[in-house]
Structure 1
Amino acid sequence: MKTFDHLSVVGLREWINLPELGLVGLRAKIDTGASTSALHASDVQEFERDGTPWVRFTAYIGTQVQRRHRCEAELVAVKIIKSSNGHAQTRHVIRTLLTLGDRSWPVEFTLASRKTMQYRVLLGAKALVAAALVVNPALKYVQDKPQLSSPSGAQ
């Protein structure tokens, strides 16, 4: 059996930060079956800033008690995403810095309604490959939990 000592291990669930969006202490589900990462968002509105397309949206922090947080990010693309059940949906795509453990790197997220899902953030295969992460599905919360201070603008 080969071992990969140079790769960092994450569990099936991890705590993350999205600092550029002001989102701290989010629980993320690691999903190697999903290519792209997804962030639960509502009230998505496109606008222009200095001739560049941006989106404004509401993200949600917490699982038991939901706190809303208004975010803005540059719009990278609008894509049609096909779910595992074959349903196609048009989604806005943003790129923002993700912090997990002691690493930070830019990750593309589709903005989607995940209100019926237990985890508001899905971390897909592209994000894992970009950071050279290996998933051990028998583990949860392997990396250190981020600081849980409330971001400015949370309600």
Structure 2
Amino acid sequence: MNNSDLQTIIGLREWIALPELGVVGLRAKIDTGASTSALHATDISEFERGGKRWVRFTAHLGTLVQRRHRCEAPLVTRKTIKSSNGHVQTRYVVRTLLALGDHLWPVEFTLTCRKTMRYRLLLGSKALMDGKWLVDPARTYVQEKPQTLTSPGAQ
């Protein structure tokens, strides 16, 4: 494996940032079995800005130390999701930039309650394909932790 291969590999868990939402230092679980990415959010409300639909929500960012961050994002759509346990739920979908390592690309997230889950953010297969990542499930935290809201050399 050469050095350029290492830049496209991620592990089962990685540090990410959502710069447009003001979120840094969030641990994500990589889930190739889920097509859609999901973000733990509560207090979700829809509103209008400039003639477009938006959502306002509280993102929950920590597991051991609870951190909350109030966010706003344009509403992409609402989507019906069937979870792995068969539960069907309609969720809001937002699109925002995701920073992983030195890559930066737009990802769609469904907003849902993940309070019983260890990871507040799940990165699904659509986001992985868009980001052109290869997943090595035997590894974790392969990429450098995004340090700032605007990563130098972001792609």
Structure 1 and Structure 2 fold alike (TM over 0.5): yes
Deviation (angstroms), 1:86: 1.3
Matches within 5 A, 1:85-100: 85-100=85-100
Match status 1:109 vs 2:143: no
TM-score (ref. length: structure 1):
0.90
Paired residue for 2:80? Answer: 80
What is the alpha-carbon distance in structure 1 between the residues aligned to residue 19 and residue 54 of structure 2? 17
- 3-state SS in 1 of match to 2:126: helix
User: What residue identity is the alignment partner of 2:86?
Assistant: G
- Please tell me the root mean square deviation across aligned C-alpha atoms, in Å: 1.7
What is the alpha-carbon distance in structure 1 between the residues aligned to residue 5 and residue 65 of structure 2? 39
| 1:43-74 CA-partner distances (Å, limit 9, x unpaired) | 00000001100000000122211111100000
Paired residue for 1:123? Answer: 123
Paired residue for 1:153? Answer: none
TM-score (ref. length: structure 2):
0.90
- 3-state SS in 1 of match to 2:129: helix
Q: Is the 8 A contact 1:7 1:134 kept in 2?
A: no
User: What residue identity is the alignment partner of 1:39?
Assistant: L
Matches within 5 A, 1:24-35: 24-35=24-35
Q: Is the 8 A contact 2:37 2:110 kept in 1?
A: yes
Paired residue for 2:46? Answer: 46
Deviation (angstroms), 1:15: 0.1
Structure 2 unaligned runs (5+)? 150-155
What is the alpha-carbon distance in structure 2 between the residues aligned to residue 104 and residue 145 of structure 1? 13
Q: Is the 8 A contact 2:102 2:146 kept in 1?
A: no
User: What residue identity is the alignment partner of 1:139?
Assistant: R
User: What residue identity is the alignment partner of 1:50?
Assistant: G
Structure 1 unaligned runs (5+)? 150-155
What is the alpha-carbon distance in structure 2 between the residues aligned to residue 122 and residue 12 of structure 1? 11
Query: How many aligned positions are there?
Result: 146
- 3-state SS in 2 of match to 1:76: strand
What fraction of aligned residue pairs are identical, expressed as a percent?
A: 70
Deviation (angstroms), 1:131: 1.0
What is the alpha-carbon distance in structure 1 between the residues aligned to residue 57 and residue 91 of structure 2? 12
What is the alpha-carbon distance in structure 2 between the residues aligned to residue 126 and residue 102 of structure 1? 19
